[in-house]
Homo-oligomer: A and B are copies of this chain.
C-alpha cells in the first residue's frame, strides 16, 4: 500500500477491501489475528501459495503497516510475524469473515478445514 494508496475512494467498503488487499492477505491476517506465527508456520497454513507469492504478500502487509516481523527469544533466533495495532483494528472484521464461513458452510454443502488448530495439535 503506502505510496500506492489512492487518496480518495468511491465508498467506504471499497477502501476497506483495498486495505485487506485480496484473498491471501486477508487469510494471512485472519491467522495472525489468532497469534504471532513463524514463517514456517504460515507456510503450512497456506500450502497452495508459492514461497515467492507468500513472501511478497508478507512484504506487502508489512509495507501497509498491518503486520510486523519481530525477533523472539525462543533459543534459536526465531522471528515471528504479528499484527500491528493498525492490523489489530481489523480484528472484529476478520472475526466476522471467519465466523460467517464457519456458520454457513454446511448450508452451502461445503466443508471447511481448521489448519491452525491442526498445526497447534501437531506441534
Contact = CB atoms under 8 A, between A and B. Distances in A.
A98 B12 contact: yes
A4 to B, nearest CB: 12
Contact of A113 (B9, B23, B102): B9
A121 interface: no
The copy count of this chain in the complex is: 2
A89 B104 CA distance: 9
Specify the main secondary structure of chain A where it touches its partner.
helix
Contacts of A8: 110-113
A122 interface: no
Interface string A83-95: 0001001101110
A13 B110 contact: no
A17 B97 contact: yes
B93 A15 contact: no
Contacts of A96: 92-93, 96
